Structure 1
């Protein structure tokens, strides 16, 4: 595990952007492709805008990057709550990424079918290879949820990599998410977290006693994790 603490949120976002570009260039040079799993939320939105602007938009051969989603709310792709809508507006459209490089979660079908189809889509992309992404971007909720892995939900006990439909306590909302075994197969995982309101969650995630039912982020325990946080989020460390 690596931890980078920047003085400000802006600097934390700039730091993770530099690492993403470096990792993308490395993978493209080595295997002519880079698989990137996007996350939702306000802080990633600022990151995506940065990546879509000079000099980052010219630093990567984006025609070799394939985009996926770690989770999605069960809403239409035009909905304000849609992770896809946000990523499309801030990153994918500005970079002119063609549809064949974007693997979004189809919410036009029943929710369990949406999860099943997305898992099939991932298996089809990787073929005979293991479903292991080059980089998964993640945030952290104040309740220590990650992707759509929420406290005290059945998906936290999964042992096999999968995409699942889940019901959350947030407005009785339904979501589709990668589970922890699938996330942990990633070659790299970058967390981006900012703000004093996340300081307690960061402290519990990194220093607190282990209770994966109460603190789902603790399920993400591959050593290939790099935390990018600002000073405010790190005040409890």
Structure 2
């Protein structure tokens, strides 16, 4: 489990995040959602390890990781997929997977690489240089590169951003498959409608605090969520 307890983030006198607590279990997909400027991105980055909380704690199982940098969190099984493209553009797809195993100190297992290529439907582009990939293909490679390290959790920043509708559908299917193999997923995305197709639970952040936590159905029926975030005309 990843759990955050009483997270606070202040920028000088500005209180960006105020006493947020949440948890993610293995094998579930959790959405961290809310209006722009509400504090969701700051909260997400504190869990990722990009932003240090002013106070509060973050745990992976029973290990306090609040002050751990991203690479140390990765060694404990927490993967992170940034919104910005992160593939090694001059290398091909196969080399991307091979290199990430190597730099992570893991055995470069050709059979494992082939298995992950097959699992993500990218065997046909294994020898294609990543600078030539479409946005959707690059996203697949990025997730495959994370999964090959056998994480317990993946933190996905705007996974539906910058890809076409077909690729969004494929991304949703990939996230379902991550859940099936027991990986816990925390995602934040502005594409609320597609996020709600995949998440089991949502935390809605508004004015730096948790406005709501619960299922997508409960979320869409919550009057304060509709008022602050979704709008009265929103429906699944």
For this structure pair, what is the TM-score category when the shorter chain's length is used for normalisation?
0.3 to 0.5
Taking structure 1 as the reference length, the TM-score comes to 0.36
Q: Which has the higher strand share?
A: 2
Please say which structure displays the higher CA radius of gyration: 2
